[in-house]
Structure 1
Amino acid sequence: MFTTEPNSYIDLLQKFPPRPIKSEAEFFAVQEIIDTLLDAGELTPEKQDYVNVLGILVHEYEEKHVSIPDLSGVELLRALIDEFSLKQKDLVPIFKTESIVSAILNGQRKFTVEHIEKLADFFNISPSAFFRRTL
Structure 2
Amino acid sequence: MITDAIKAADALLRAVPLLQGSRAQQDYREALELVEYLLENDEHHPLIDMLAKKIAEYEDNSAEFTAFNQRIAQLPQGVAALRVLMEQHQLSQSDFEHEIGKKSLVNQILNGKRSLTIPHIMALAKRFNLPPALFLPEAD
- Residues 78-127 of structure 1 show CA distances to partners (whole Å, capped at 9, x for unaligned) of 12111111011110011122221111112111111110011111112111
Normalised by the length of structure 2, the TM-score is 0.54
Letter in 1 for 2:120: H
- Tell me the secondary structure at the aligned position of residue 99 of structure 2: helix
Does residue 78 in structure 1 map to residue 75 in structure 2? no
Percent identity, aligned pairs only, is 24
Trace 1:21-40 onto structure 2 (pairs within 5 A): 23-25=20-22, 35=34
Judging by fraction of residues, say which structure has more helix: 2
Q: CA RMSD in A?
A: 4.1
The structure having more radius of gyration, on CA atoms, is 1
| Number of residue pairs aligned between Structure 1 and Structure 2 | 111
Gaps of 5+ in 1: 1-11
Normalised by the length of structure 1, the TM-score is 0.56
- Tell me the secondary structure at the aligned position of residue 107 of structure 1: coil
Residue 22 of structure 1 deviates from its aligned partner by 7.7
In structure 2, do the counterparts of structure 1 residues 59 and 82 end up closer, same or farther at CA, with 3 Å as the change threshold?
Answer: closer
Trace 1:9-48 onto structure 2 (pairs within 5 A): 13=5, 16-17=8-9, 23-25=20-22, 35=34
Q: Is the 8 A contact 2:109 2:115 kept in 1?
A: yes
Of structures 1 and 2, the one with the larger relative CO (CA 8 A, separation 6+) is: 1
Trace 1:1-135 onto structure 2 (pairs within 5 A): 13=5, 16-17=8-9, 23-25=20-22, 35=34, 51-52=45-46, 54-58=47-51, 65=57, 67=60, 72-134=77-139
Distance 2:95 2:53 in 1: 36
Letter in 1 for 2:128: F
